[in-house]
């Protein structure tokens, strides 16, 4: 397929098994060396060529044996069942990295993922409140995750911290929170009180636009 223009704007969620702060954002090894997690978004508005993608969601569950830049990873896309065949194909093309510049997130994924598992098409329910640092993802039988604010261990009050990445390929600014994850697809794992980043992003073939 010839390269297509595309744009995705919406609510971005990255939850993983690491300690709060996601070492990958700091070019450090994963907390437990192995990286397990997922990322994706609820699309407010978007397109791939002539195909509109407004209102759809997608996530990608990943597993890496070590730091992401060393590769040899597994990934399994989770695609919103409301997507038409054309929309599913459009999302798959975006995720493939074939329509992105070098050094952008989906292009990088195409280099470090060694095994791409068969996509799962299922109902995806997402709740997202970046200001409150809360989110919920439900994909029945596949993935369940809750995000809540980090709590101060002394006062039990919500603790707020942001990560700013002026040259980030994933987001420019993210709210850090705590996640519980129950992944039951090919790449099954569970966590409690692990890392979450919530962000509002605009992704394009040239990278993060906002």
Query: Has residue 48 been placed in a domain?
Result: yes
Residue 81 has pLDDT above 90, yes or no: yes
Treating both helix axes as pointing N-terminal to C-terminal, what angle do 105-112 and 85-96 enclose, rounded to 10 degrees?
80
What is the pLDDT, as a whole number, of residue 210? 84
What is the pLDDT, as a whole number, of residue 1? 84
- 114-142: pLDDT as tens digits: 999 999 999 999 999 999 999 999 999 99
Give the pLDDT mean for 3-16: 98
- Report the percentage of the chain scoring pLDDT > 70: 100
* Number of separate domains in the chain: 1
Query: Has residue 23 been placed in a domain?
Result: yes
Residue 189 has pLDDT above 90, yes or no: yes
Task: State if pTM tops 0.85.
Answer: yes
CA pair distance 73, 71, nearest whole angstrom: 5
- Structural domain including 63 reads 6-208
Query: Has residue 1 been placed in a domain?
Result: no
66 band by pLDDT with thresholds 50, 70 and 90:
very high
For residue 101, what are the CA distances in angstroms to 30, 96, 110, 172, 203? 26, 12, 12, 18, 12
Give the pLDDT mean for 104-122: 97
111 band by pLDDT with thresholds 50, 70 and 90:
very high
Average pLDDT score, the chain: 97
- The DSSP element (H or E) to which 95 belongs, if any, is helix 85-96
CA pair distance 14, 16, nearest whole angstrom: 7
- 138-166: pLDDT as tens digits: 999 999 999 999 999 999 999 999 999 99
Q: How many helices (H) and strands (E) does the chain have?
A: 2, 16
């Amino acid at each position: 397929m010839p390269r297509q223009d595309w744009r995705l704007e919406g609510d971005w969620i990255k939850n993983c098994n690491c300690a709060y702060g996601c070492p990958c954002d700091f070019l450090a090894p994963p907390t437990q060396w192995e990286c397990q997690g997922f990322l994706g978004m609820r699309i407010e508005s978007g397109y791939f060529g002539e195909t509109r993608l407004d209102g759809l969601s997608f996530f990608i569950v990943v597993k890496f044996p070590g730091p992401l830049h060393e590769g040899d990873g597994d990934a399994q896309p989770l695609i919103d069942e409301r997507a038409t065949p054309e929309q599913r194909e459009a999302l798959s093309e975006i995720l493939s990295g074939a329509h992105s510049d070098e050094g952008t997130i989906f292009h990088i994924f195409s280099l470090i993922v060694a095994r791409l598992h068969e996509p799962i098409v299922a109902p995806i329910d997402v709740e997202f409140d970046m200001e409150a640092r809360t989110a919920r993802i439900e994909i029945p039988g596949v993935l369940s995750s809750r995000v809540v604010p980090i709590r101060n261990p002394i006062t039990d009050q919500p603790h707020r911290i942001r990560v700013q990445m002026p040259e980030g390929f994933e987001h420019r600014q993210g709210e850090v929170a705590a996640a519980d994850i129950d992944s039951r697809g090919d790449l099954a794992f569970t966590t409690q009180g692990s890392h979450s980043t919530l962000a509002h992003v605009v992704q394009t073939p040239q990278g993060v636009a906002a």
